[in-house]
Chain A
Amino acid sequence: MSVQTIPRPAPEAASPGPASYGPASEEARARAFGEALDLLRQEVIAERGREDARYIHTLIALQRGLECGGRAALAISLLPPAWPAGTAMLTTAKILENMELGHNILHGQWDWMRDPAINSATWEWDFPTPAEAWKHTHNVIHHTFTNVVGKDRDLGYTILRMSPDQPWRPAYLAQPLYAALIAPVFEWAIALYDLEVDAVATGRKSPRALLRDLGALGRKAVRQAAKDYLLFPLLSGPSALPCLLGNLTANTVRNLWAHTVIFCGHFPEGAQSFTEERIEGESRGQWYVRQAQGSANIEGGTVLHILTGNLSHQIEHHLFPDLPSNRYAQIAPRVRALCEEHGIPYTTGPLLRQYTSVWSRILRLALP
């Protein structure tokens, strides 16, 4: 398909230096930025088709194949080479399932295929949080209020101080400790967090709704835990213990990885947070600007992108949460060029640098 060229924005928007803008030209810049992004979005939507469908089908087959292979190998993991092989396969399967499949399908990225088997309304993932609960806290709250202090609960997940605009409390002194502690059990931390117990205290959520969500979580979590920590080990007979350890390892590594990728998405140096006043009467263009300013990318190769579920393209994902993930890499250079053109910072860097930057923020903001 042909690639259409994006019209250049109005001249005033292209002039350099955000400092030279008053509020009026700020709005003009946002509008031009937003219009260019809308065109880019339309272009990708028009091109979406057979190749994209093949991508997701291949990934699903790969993930399920790896999972079967991993489970089979761990069932005989008393034999020395089977354990590392099985654990590696299962870990990779869980990472793909969580990030490239679960997260993205639940965003509705593949709903355009009209396949009920790969649809945000029917998909359930290998993660304790029920898909329904996740779609509310993540797709609605986080993606609408990205990095808005007091609105985006993902900004510190209600327990961390990730923006200097959040008032300091003494408990934050220990935040490096609990930030580190939640990483290996990230899926359970997310499951509890998604219950929004804090919202019951403020009256935004009824105790009844909390009980209902607790029930849904309980039912799902029991099945998840039983599968990995009871049934598969039992089926492995003499290999029960190594199988159990393999499953534990796979879940833990997946959790550490997901925690890393997600923290690198919004908290490295350069990713900004916003006040509630800033989003009052926000236009579509300003919404785009905020999404770009509040997110950060990770640089790397194709394998890294796939293993992060393309959340290494967090900026592109936040601009277009419903475009298929395999397209983010393709549009990233053009998004970056548009950001530069409109004087909007584009935060990106290699994994190690972004990760270090996240931790220095956690440490710095632990103090008043």
Chain B
Amino acid sequence: MGTTFLTAVRGRSGRLLHAAAAALTTPLLPADYLALFDPLLGGRWPAGRVESVRPETAEATTLVIRPGRGWGGFRAGQYVPVGVDIDGVLHWRTYSLSSAPGRPGEPFALTVKALPDGLVSGRLAQDTGPGTVLRLGPAQGDFTLPEPLPERTLFLTAGIGLTPVMSMLRALARRQGGRNASAGDVVLVHSAPDRAATVFGRELRVLSRRMPWLRVHLHHTRTSGRRLTPQRLSAVCPDWRERQTWTCGPGPMLDALRQHWHEQGPAVERRLHLERFRPALPAAASGAGAEDGLIRFQRTGVDVPAGAGVPLLRAGEAAGVAMPSGCRMGICFGCVASLVQGRVRDLRTGEITGEPGTLVQTCVCTAVGTVAVDL
């Protein structure tokens, strides 16, 4: 009681002090000045510093990151936008956190797999040493465990899709103190090419030995020469229909699982929780050329066919979306919107860009194939 009161007073006087300092730095914040000394001090644009780097497999790496001020923590299973400076440009990508949530300010872990031509994933997984500063967005996503925990849980993962589930398992292990069986009954079925390519393989074996509530089944596709099919799932986890299931992995796998659960009827389907690393977009209208696609206005919930050479601004306006605009010719930046997915062509230069989070000028950019914008 006493400490709560003290914290409240400290919190209150801290806020007053901050408001007073902000009156002196207006229109900036005191944090903007502090960030000059160390980006981790500037709470307005949170950042973290890589403390250590640990290889998991030949392609996947875990980065342990100490977050600076202003970063709000996360729940097990969530992902976080990370801004990586490459040649002066911050490239933003989201990655699932693999560590269990700790106390505020405690380091957390990201596990990143280098994609074949992934500019950012390659840089993070292979080329980022301790001391590197990364920018952080707020953790997000609702691929998390409910409270209270379900009695029976199934985790169904493949490849790097294990990351968010690893965070949940670690959180459960920490919470249960390792001995208490009230985490319910948890089965993890994880598919990876072979033993060497299994992320967290050793830790999973240790966990399953120590935690009575956890059963781990590792499926190695390359060694066994077989994919993990629904039939095989029934063999390792016969009661899968009754379990709350969390699954994360490649898109085709998720599609197949969803179909399979769907066929069991709504009661079973409701128990399936999916996490996609990329949101699914509807395919282009049939019969359309390769360049044709769709513009999805995410917030408005409107889909418009992407006419060749038609600026996003005009396509949106024609569909009744409230589009911000100004000069309508690419000079005022009054029309920018954040790209959620897909690629756009700048009509002035022909340049094609397509990174999630890029701000695009909708008046001079046209969709290349299917895109989603945050409008």
* Pair B351/A45 contact, Cβ less than 8 Å: yes
* Pair A143/B327 contact, Cβ less than 8 Å: yes
Say if the beta carbon of B44 comes within 8 Å of chain A. yes
B329 / chain A contacts, CB cutoff of 8 Å: 144, 287
- Picked from B24, B33, B332, the residue with its CB within 8 Å of the CB of A144 is B332
| Residue-wise interface mask of A (156-200) relative to B, using a CB-CB cutoff of 8 A (1 in contact, 0 not) | 000000000000000000000000000000000000000000000
Q: Which chain A residue has the least Cβ–Cβ distance from B328?
A: A144
* Pair B24/A231 contact, Cβ less than 8 Å: yes
| Residue-wise interface mask of B (324-345) relative to A, using a CB-CB cutoff of 8 A (1 in contact, 0 not) | 0011011111101000000000
* Pair A54/B88 contact, Cβ less than 8 Å: yes
* Pair A139/B88 contact, Cβ less than 8 Å: no
* Pair A125/B88 contact, Cβ less than 8 Å: no
- Picked from B36, B92, B330, B332, the residue with its CB within 8 Å of the CB of A114 is B92
- Picked from B36, B90, B92, B331, the residue with its CB within 8 Å of the CB of A321 is B331
Say if the beta carbon of B266 comes within 8 Å of chain A. no
B332 / chain A contacts, CB cutoff of 8 Å: 108, 135, 139-140, 143-144
Report the bound CA distance from A64 to B89 in whole Å.
22
Report the bound CA distance from A223 to B329 in whole Å.
35
* Pair B334/A136 contact, Cβ less than 8 Å: yes
| Residue-wise interface mask of A (314-338) relative to B, using a CB-CB cutoff of 8 A (1 in contact, 0 not) | 0000000110000000000000000
Say if the beta carbon of A303 comes within 8 Å of chain B. no
* Pair B87/A139 contact, Cβ less than 8 Å: no
Q: Which of A115, A121, A322 has the most CB of B within 10 A?
A: A115
* Pair B89/A322 contact, Cβ less than 8 Å: no
- Picked from A38, A51, A111, the residue with its CB within 8 Å of the CB of B359 is A111
Report the bound CA distance from A143 to B32 in whole Å.
30
Say if the beta carbon of B103 comes within 8 Å of chain A. no
Answer whether A114 and B348 are a contact pair too, CB < 8 Å, given A50-B88, A53-B89, A144-B331: no
Chain A stretch 40-73: residues in CB contact (< 8 A) with chain B: 41-42, 45, 48-54, 61, 64-65, 68
What class of interface size applies to chain B in its complex with A? 35 or more
User: Helix, strand, loop or mixed for chain B's interface?
Assistant: loop
Report the bound CA distance from A140 to B330 in whole Å.
10
B359 / chain A contacts, CB cutoff of 8 Å: 111, 114, 119, 121
Say if the beta carbon of A117 comes within 8 Å of chain B. yes
- Picked from B85, B348, B358, the residue with its CB within 8 Å of the CB of A38 is B348
Say if the beta carbon of B224 comes within 8 Å of chain A. no
* Pair B333/A120 contact, Cβ less than 8 Å: yes
| Residue-wise interface mask of B (235-278) relative to A, using a CB-CB cutoff of 8 A (1 in contact, 0 not) | 00000000000000000000000000000000000000000000
* Pair A51/B88 contact, Cβ less than 8 Å: yes
B90 / chain A contacts, CB cutoff of 8 Å: 113-115
- Picked from A114, A139, A227, A287, the residue with its CB within 8 Å of the CB of B24 is A227
Say if the beta carbon of A94 comes within 8 Å of chain B. no
| Residue-wise interface mask of A (116-155) relative to B, using a CB-CB cutoff of 8 A (1 in contact, 0 not) | 1101110011100000000110011001100000000000
* Pair B26/A224 contact, Cβ less than 8 Å: yes
Give the Cβ gap from A53 to chain B, nearest Cβ, in Å.
3
* Pair A144/B333 contact, Cβ less than 8 Å: no
Give the Cβ gap from A258 to chain B, nearest Cβ, in Å.
17
Chain B stretch 297-315: residues in CB contact (< 8 A) with chain A: none
Q: Which chain A residue has the least Cβ–Cβ distance from B39?
A: A117
Report the bound CA distance from A235 to B24 in whole Å.
10
B150 / chain A contacts, CB cutoff of 8 Å: none
Report the bound CA distance from A61 to B329 in whole Å.
33
A144 / chain B contacts, CB cutoff of 8 Å: 326-327, 329, 331-332
| Residue-wise interface mask of B (85-118) relative to A, using a CB-CB cutoff of 8 A (1 in contact, 0 not) | 1011111100000000000000000000000000
* Pair B88/A126 contact, Cβ less than 8 Å: no
Report the bound CA distance from A184 to B358 in whole Å.
40
Give the Cβ gap from A285 to chain B, nearest Cβ, in Å.
13
Give the Cβ gap from B42 to chain A, nearest Cβ, in Å.
8
Give the Cβ gap from A67 to chain B, nearest Cβ, in Å.
9
* Pair B36/A64 contact, Cβ less than 8 Å: yes
Q: What is B's interface to A at a CB cutoff of 8 Å? A: 23-24, 26-28, 32-33, 35-36, 42, 44-45, 83, 85, 87-92, 135, 326-327, 329-334, 336, 348-349, 351, 357-359
| 10 examples of A-B residue contacts, CB within 8 angstroms | A65-B36, A114-B359, A126-B27, A140-B332, A143-B331, A144-B329, A144-B331, A223-B26, A227-B24, A227-B26
3 smallest beta-carbon distances between A and B, as pairs: A53-B88, A108-B333, A139-B332
Beyond known contacts A53-B89, A117-B45, A139-B326: 13 more, CB 8 A cutoff: A49-B89, A64-B36, A65-B36, A108-B332, A114-B83, A114-B358, A117-B32, A117-B35, A135-B326, A139-B332, A140-B327, A227-B24, A287-B329
